[in-house]
Amino acid sequence: MVLARRSFREAIIALGSDIPKPEFVNLSAGWETFNKTGVALPKETVEVLKSECDCALFGSVSSPSTKVAGYSSPIVALRKELDLYANIRPVVGVAAKAGDKPPVDLIVVRENTECLYVKQEQQIEGPNGKEARATRLITERASRRIGEMAFKLAEARPAKQLHIIHKSNVLSITDGLFRETVRGVPALSGKYGDVTIQEQLVDSAVYRLFREPEIFDVMVAPNLYGDIISDAAAALVGSLGLIPSINAGDDFVMGEPVHGSAPDIEGKGIANPIASIRSAALMLRHLGYTKGADRLDVAVDQVIREGRFLTPDLKGKSTTREVLDAVLGKL
């Protein structure tokens, strides 16, 4: 996915004086790195990010779908190493006319460090054969931090509405703690009194996303639910290839397209670069470079609206390079 990776770099460079002149450093992580070195996330990558970088853009990195001894997901590890506790995933459609309200406009705020992603699993022999067990971790601290981030985002939006997504009718202790802690953020902080709080069980939330997406504004969820909800929501706007995200902490931010590596189209030159470009815009906006971020988003909207240059996931016939050049042309 070399061209998809270049989309980050070329889109940012094209902004010119709207942002400080960027300097790029390439760092290794992922399945290919693991096959070469035996490590999916080299220590050098983490050290350079911590000591030399203001932000990062995470490219398309494959992970095996079955267990491989010694391999562990580098993105999960990076989130923990850099304390990137919030995964912010906007899902926004493109309006038929510039200036119109988009048909879908919501944000999924996903807790990024806990839940089943702590990866504490074991398999034992039990009376009924093999037993596989996983530990699910929900803490008050992590729930409060992600709740604070979600309320801050909701307060800045016109609707000022926050849906807490959970399954505490079944998981009354773990999801119950998440729900209660997030609900308690306004009282504890003395802020966000103008944000309307609503709740939705995760299964019915997915159903309502497809039936009536307009009811959602900001959705905050534990790690696993947030992952599933944001991928499902991508169908509302046509493709995972459009959906950006950032992994944000208090001191660092890392852009990451939601779509993953798409190994079935590797090397064909047809990967959609838009999620990468929008992730760059989202990262810049988080860093305070609003003008540059807005220019990127407007350019992407124009290309999608015109429909001349679209990759196959959007029922087009364009290559990655053609779509990228179309966006750069708008800039």
| Residue of 85, 105, 117, 225 marked catalytic | 117
Active site residue 54: no
Active site residue 192: no
How many other CB atoms are found less than 10 A from the CB of residue 21?
Answer: 7
Instruction: Determine contact, residues 126/135, Cβ cutoff 8 Å.
Output: no
The values of phi and psi at residue 170, to 5°, are -110, -50
Rounded (5°) CA angle 223-208-100: 100
Strand-pairing partners, residue 87, are 110, 247
| Residue of 85, 167, 175, 217 marked catalytic | 167
Q: How far apart are CA 74 and CA 80, in angstroms?
A: 10
Active site residue 105: no
Check residue 269 and give left, alpha or beta (phi > 0: left; psi -120 to 50: alpha).
left
Q: How far apart are CA 107 and CA 279, in angstroms?
A: 14
| Residue of 175, 227, 297, 301 marked catalytic | 227
| Residue of 18, 80, 160, 231 marked catalytic | 231
* Closest by CA position to 14, among listed 303, 261, 318, 299: 299
Instruction: Determine contact, residues 84/252, Cβ cutoff 8 Å.
Output: yes
Tokens of 76: 């999960």
Active site residue 227: yes
Could you tell me the sign of the dihedral formed by the alpha carbons of 107, 113, 114, 115, in that order? positive
| Residue of 54, 203, 250, 251 marked catalytic | 203
Active site residue 167: yes
Angle between helical axes of 320-330 and 290-306 (0-180°, round to 10):
120
Q: Tell me the catalytic residues.
A: 117, 167, 203, 227, 231
